[in-house]
Structure 1
């Protein structure tokens, strides 16, 4: 299958690849989701912030340019979720966006730095899910790449839903709850959506197979417990949703580390090498956590927003 590529970072499985998957017992290419699986990309609002948060060295002056007039470059940052209808597991939701009340939840100081510049009724999580023909009440599993507010704020929609499993890496859950308890990182980990009474499920493996065709990869750096989700579809091939391992495409394409939002450079660099290897061996399309160009390209590729 041939499709348009964004920045040359897309790969697709061939008919030979799919035949190999059907008959192989090896894990050089992970198993695809079962026939009948569908995937939808949900846009749940847009933030805007200084580019230096996302790319190391962005907006930096030099001795040569120190007297030049200068306006800081900024970047539009879509918040998105992924909804997967899986024949064996039911409805699976990857991340939740920032929630309805993001500006007031984070407070005026943070809302002025990471400003939600666009949020229409269609961006509410329940409405975005409904647009795919599903209902938020049908969701069986929520999977979080990490627990920062712009990815986990929508967990508020699942409060009281004891039957909904909430999956996250063990290290991420520990750090997040420690932060809520101590206030150590309370600008990004927030207690209103990180509640003890939710049906938390954790794993501590480097690679965890959530179900047939869906694998979680531990990629620390931005946070200690960050994970990416790999989805292998029968027709569309393999997609790797990286959460904030990469904020924008330059982090991956140009090997540029994150800016002020990166916590551990050595861990990030090792995780970056791991993603590069996954690209090579799994033929993954890599989707950063907030890259507007990538999301636009995917919507152009599938105007009906149905991936199989």
Structure 2
């Protein structure tokens, strides 16, 4: 965005012992979390302040991707998410149907500026396209970023947790809510990758992230 910073997801909450608690902290352990990993500090390391954030885009609303919404409660920062993801997350958290991965503390309805869409493909801003890719969750969206100099990047969020989910087409097992939809979404991602010669950035693949970080200070 020309007049501010746009985030793609926020990571998890800072205090997991309070926000998650056992057994979630046992099932989904956070193995390393230092001061530099806290969202406001990570943004400062990039040369910005969290107050510079003018929008947050979500691929999906699982607790390890959306817990950082705690920093935007009570602000007018728009929170963009697919309508199907928003409805499923609210239903799942409220009824306990999928309570292990959605939490009510960051799904507050009246203190966040939710902005939903229901398109299979939406050009959110110039150079930024969201593609609906259900499977891992009903409303998951991948983010396609077209850069002038460094080409196209596709942030897969948890369509692919790690590289092997993509390159070896390893399915997600119980982590996928709809396996058939996941396969179809995978086919769509591969078509986009071929069409744009895109670099894929996976949801939880440390090696891919470190390679990109070491290669360049920033991409343009």
TM-score, structure 1 length as denominator?
Answer: 0.70
| 1:200 and 2:114 are equivalent in the alignment | yes
- What is aligned with 1:178? 91
- What is aligned with 2:143? 229
Q: Deviations for 1:98-128, whole angstroms, at most 9, x for unmatched residues? A: 0201243222112112111110000000000
Q: For residues 130 and 174 of structure 1, what CA distance do their matches in structure 2 show?
A: 33
**1:124 counterpart (31, 35, 38):** 38
**2:9 counterpart (89, 95, 110):** 95
Give SS of 1:116's match: coil
Give the superposition deviation at 1:275: 0.4
Q: Deviations for 1:246-279, whole angstroms, at most 9, x for unmatched residues? A: 0010010111111321111100000000001001
- What is aligned with 2:26? 112
Q: For residues 101 and 256 of structure 1, what CA distance do their matches in structure 2 show?
A: 32
**2:129 counterpart (203, 215, 232):** 215
Distance 1:209 1:158, change over 3 A: same
Q: For residues 172 and 293 of structure 1, what CA distance do their matches in structure 2 show?
A: 28
Runs (4+) of structure 1 exceeding 4 A deviation are: none
Give the superposition deviation at 1:189: 0.7
- What is aligned with 1:187? 100
Distance 1:182 1:232, change over 3 A: same
TM-score, structure 2 length as denominator?
Answer: 0.97
Say if 1:145 and 1:168, in contact at 8 Å, map to a contact too: yes
Larger radius of gyration: 1
Q: Deviations for 1:163-211, whole angstroms, at most 9, x for unmatched residues? A: x000000000000111122111111111111110211101111111001
**1:275 counterpart (167, 189, 206):** 189
Say if 1:218 and 1:226, in contact at 8 Å, map to a contact too: yes
Say if 1:219 and 1:245, in contact at 8 Å, map to a contact too: yes
Work out the number of aligned pairs and report it.
Answer: 219
Give SS of 1:107's match: coil
Q: For residues 260 and 184 of structure 1, what CA distance do their matches in structure 2 show?
A: 14
Instruction: State the superposition RMSD in angstroms.
Output: 1.0
- What is aligned with 1:307? 219
**1:287 counterpart (194, 197, 201):** 201
Task: Answer 1 or 2: which has greater helix percent.
Answer: 2
Give SS of 2:30's match: strand
- Where does 1:237-248 land on structure 2 (aligned, <5 Å)? 237-248=151-162
- What is aligned with 2:80? 167
